[in-house]
Structure 1
Amino acid sequence: MGNSIGQFFAVQGIVSLFMPTLIGIIADRWVPTQRLLSLCQLLAAIFMGLAGYMGMKYGDNVKFIHIFPFYTLSVAFFMPSMSLGISISYFCLTESGLDPVKNFPPIRVFGTIGFIISMWIVNFTGAKNNYIQLFISAGWGIILANYALTLPNCKVEKKEGEENKKTSIIDSFGLRAFTLFKKRNMCIFFIFSFFLGMCLQISNGFATTFLDEFRKSPSYANSFAVKNSVFLSSISQISETLCMFLIPFFLKRFGIKNVLIMAFATWSIRFVLLGLGNPTGFGLVLFILSMIVYGIAFDFYNISGSLYVEESTNDEIRSSAQGVYMMMTSGFGSTIGSHCAQAVINVCTNNKENNFDEYMHGWSLSWYIFGGFILVIGILFTMLFKYKHNQEQSEQSEQQQEKPKKIEI
């Protein structure tokens, strides 16, 4: 199924075009978020377990059609769970009188730690090339599905007198979050979030593949970086964990615009470092630096962007607004980014497979193109996104937070 691996990555973006927003609307309008999170995780785990069962049943004879349908259904329910988890965190922090900007990043750290542990388990148990990794994923999903039911009750927010008032079609179908596009700054923010989503997909979809390509050379085939590409990639998640603690300071000190500009800049730097690196000597140092830079690039757009959406919307559309943000990043960004990146790589490496040096030069050229592209997009964002940060007001807002109060379980 090696020739079909791109479709497994692409489907994550396709389902994110509609599932996070749809599930977010349901959470805002009808079903408490923690219950919906539990249901999504349970269904995702069941379908992932079925995909694993098909892999186990057919072994080396397994085909694309055996696994892909179950995998797609699993991902369709998993992708909304990320925005639902964020929404629950913001609800709990707000209800407790805590500042989400200051207190959410340390909570989000545990998600990345779980990601790192899973990567290491898959890498060092040899599960990365067989169906066992699907069962591992299903097992984690069942645990989280049960844990979600112990979370505080996220009440469905309804306006006073809403039941007796005639509502518009937009309100009836829970589409109020899409009206955020009518606000100039939010519209520009969502559009450029799409480009940042492209960066993440380019990085996640092709960085490890790029490292694996060095297996084709006897000079690199037995290097630690090539043999343990998943473990090396986990340095990115370790950096992500550490950089998350920087978010409260940078958002309070510099504001969302400057933080996002830093994200654009660091994505460009990461891509250039990947183009310059190789698995040995100083080239390996450049690879590791690209992994370290990833932490800033990811956190300063993904987590900070989510916090900006939370600060710019009200409680009634919290989950659906996070769903729209995910639709633009993990949906449109991932889908279009994956296809565009593959097209660039194909052009740069076409007919060069028989010459390793030329082939890898084509890969490097691809990374330089990605780096230059996102640098230009970052400059455009700087010019178009009008935002004036008031540091004093931000600090006063933090000082005026209410005392923690109990929330309903």
Structure 2
Amino acid sequence: MNIKSRLIVMNFLQFFVWGSWLISMGGYMIVTLKFTGGQVGSIYATMGLASLFMPSLIGIVADRWINAERLLGICHLIGAMSLLYAAQVSDYSTMYFTMLVNSMFYMPTIALNNSVSYAVLQKDGIDVVKFFPPIRVWGTVGFVFAMWVIDLGRWSLSPIQLYVSAASGILLGCYAFTLPACTPAKVKRDGSFLSYLGLDAFVLFKKPRTAVFFIFAMFLGAALQITNTFGEAFIHDFTGQYPDSFAVKHPSILMSISQISETLFILTIPFFLQRFGIKKVMLMSIFAWVLRFGLFGFGNPGDGFILLVLSMIIYGMAFDFFNISGSLFVKNEADNSILSSAQGLFMLMTNGVGAFLGGVISGWVVDYFTVDGIRDWQSIWLAFAGYTLILGIVFPFVFKYKHNPSSEITGSPGVA
């Protein structure tokens, strides 16, 4: 099996692990376990809490002491054990701390997956910007496949979804140890305090455009997990009104259109980055989020079904143009000696600070618009749409970046 195929397997399993529960577990906790919106939001916010420190910490370890592919395997094995325990939990407090442990060891693997892919491709002299997106698209395929397995197995409201995720995590944990070695960079540290602690990637904040980019990555990270957290719970609330609709019977399959859309938009990233540059690509992402939430606000499983489908399709642009393009932008801005640390820092800002604030605050928003157990989903989604609209208005004025078409292909920085 050639190296591209091996990375495809890694990316497929990486996101199969997540896709097995990320979208469906919100509905499981609300419908089956009877948790409140605030409780569900706080449990999803554990991903953000863990990402405040774990991706950066693990990235530092990978850059300085332990092979990245070995850390990837270790983290997945520990994460799988926590999911096996979570499948047996029914009270909020225990579920919160169990999922916090899982988040502490799963969230760093997203950045590690990227850095391992980049390192292996670069070692073989393969163009990362050109070939990584087609490899990464198989991660989305894995995510979609996992969602379909859970939906067709009728496990969306069952703890079985956690057992499926744990089994795939064990498989990936073992597989990671067979990947090519991604050894720590042999770089002489400059003797500074940040270098001594291994926090070299924080020097990226010295660049104004990179600092602004990270701040908006945090704000978009807050939006990133909202539909993951409450998307299926939203659809399940139509059970009484549209009991025989496709959306209510197969919510995970409907939600998976979002990830199917990702597979298409990922493949367009090299074209859009070269043609328009990171600034315009990020702006496209922000306004795609506005549409994502707005269409949810006016959609329903009946005569508004097409609006739900359109919301799923636009998600591909919203997610990929921010997450994948942003990861590539950070790679271009960082030196190879801090590759893993830089990816960990990107994760800290998006799936860390951003996701934590997004999970907690979105839970408050859902509870605010809930009266006597009835959730006003239109107001909820339009509130989120308004938030991202503000980001879209402000971003082009504060992110100073002049596009150089050759920079997105060669990997050199753009012009400030």
Shorter-normalised TM range: 0.7 to 0.9
In 1: Cα distance, 2:302 partner to 2:222 partner: 29
Contact 1:51–1:68 (8 Å) recurs in 2: no
Deviation, 1:7, is 3.3
Deviation, 1:131, is 2.4
In 2: Cα distance, 1:377 partner to 1:336 partner: 15
In 2: Cα distance, 1:326 partner to 1:183 partner: 18
Shift in alpha-carbon separation, 1:338–1:51, aligned structure 2, 3 A: closer
Contact 2:277–2:408 (8 Å) recurs in 1: no
Deviation, 1:33, is 0.4
| Among candidates 274, 283, 291, match of residue 296 of structure 2 | 274
Over residues 197-247 of structure 1, what are the superposed CA-to-partner deviations in whole Å (9 max), with x where a residue is unaligned?
1111112112222111112x3x31221111211111011010011111010
Over residues 278-324 of structure 1, what are the superposed CA-to-partner deviations in whole Å (9 max), with x where a residue is unaligned?
1013x000100000000010000000000000111011111111111
In 1: Cα distance, 2:173 partner to 2:372 partner: 48
Shift in alpha-carbon separation, 1:153–1:392, aligned structure 2, 3 A: closer
Q: How does 1:142-157 map to 2 (within 5 A)?
A: 142-157=170-185
Residue 371 of structure 1 is matched in structure 2 by 385
Deviation, 1:366, is 2.2
Deviates more, 1:6-15 or 1:314-323: 6-15
Which residue identity lines up with residue 281 of structure 2 in the other structure? V
User: TM-score normalised to the size of structure 2?
Assistant: 0.86
Over residues 37-88 of structure 1, what are the superposed CA-to-partner deviations in whole Å (9 max), with x where a residue is unaligned?
1111111112222333x35xxxxxx434554433322221111011000001
Q: How does 1:45-194 map to 2 (within 5 A)?
A: 45-52=80-87, 54-55=88-89, 62-159=90-187, 162=188, 167-194=191-218
Which residue identity lines up with residue 377 of structure 1 in the other structure? L
Deviates more, 1:285-294 or 1:269-278: 269-278
- Larger helix proportion of the pair: 1
Deviation, 1:111, is 0.9
Instruction: State the number of aligned residues.
Output: 376
Which residue identity lines up with residue 304 of structure 1 in the other structure? S
| Among candidates 318, 325, 347, match of residue 368 of structure 2 | 347
Residue 210 of structure 1 is matched in structure 2 by 234
Shift in alpha-carbon separation, 1:393–1:227, aligned structure 2, 3 A: closer
Shift in alpha-carbon separation, 1:198–1:65, aligned structure 2, 3 A: closer
Over residues 365-402 of structure 1, what are the superposed CA-to-partner deviations in whole Å (9 max), with x where a residue is unaligned?
2222211221121121111101111125555x38xxxx
Over residues 17-49 of structure 1, what are the superposed CA-to-partner deviations in whole Å (9 max), with x where a residue is unaligned?
111111111111111101111111111112222
User: TM-score normalised to the size of structure 1?
Assistant: 0.88
Point out where structure 1 has 5 or more consecutive residues left out of the alignment. Answer: 56-61, 354-358, 399-409
Point out where structure 2 has 5 or more consecutive residues left out of the alignment. Answer: 1-32, 412-416
Matched, 1:391 2:415: no
| Among candidates 244, 253, 257, match of residue 266 of structure 2 | 244
Contact 1:270–1:293 (8 Å) recurs in 2: yes
Contact 1:170–1:176 (8 Å) recurs in 2: yes
| Equivalent position SS for 1:151 | coil
Contact 1:90–1:100 (8 Å) recurs in 2: yes
| Among candidates 18, 34, 37, match of residue 2 of structure 1 | 34
Deviation, 1:110, is 1.1
In 2: Cα distance, 1:137 partner to 1:346 partner: 29
Shift in alpha-carbon separation, 1:284–1:24, aligned structure 2, 3 A: same
Shift in alpha-carbon separation, 1:28–1:290, aligned structure 2, 3 A: same
Contact 1:201–1:333 (8 Å) recurs in 2: no
Matched, 1:198 2:230: no
Over residues 237-281 of structure 1, what are the superposed CA-to-partner deviations in whole Å (9 max), with x where a residue is unaligned?
100111110101001111101100000010001111111111013
Matched, 1:22 2:54: no
Contact 2:40–2:363 (8 Å) recurs in 1: no
Which residue identity lines up with residue 344 of structure 1 in the other structure? V
Matched, 1:303 2:324: yes
Deviation, 1:195, is 1.1
Contact 2:41–2:362 (8 Å) recurs in 1: no
Matched, 1:13 2:41: no
In 1: Cα distance, 2:318 partner to 2:86 partner: 33
In 2: Cα distance, 1:392 partner to 1:154 partner: 28
Q: Percent identity?
A: 45
Root-mean-square deviation over aligned CA pairs: 1.8
Which residue identity lines up with residue 308 of structure 1 in the other structure? F
| Equivalent position SS for 1:158 | coil
Shift in alpha-carbon separation, 1:166–1:285, aligned structure 2, 3 A: closer
In 2: Cα distance, 1:339 partner to 1:394 partner: 36
Deviation, 1:196, is 1.0
In 1: Cα distance, 2:164 partner to 2:155 partner: 9
Shift in alpha-carbon separation, 1:99–1:227, aligned structure 2, 3 A: same
| Among candidates 205, 213, 223, match of residue 245 of structure 2 | 223
Matched, 1:257 2:279: yes
Deviation, 1:105, is 0.7
In 1: Cα distance, 2:50 partner to 2:273 partner: 31
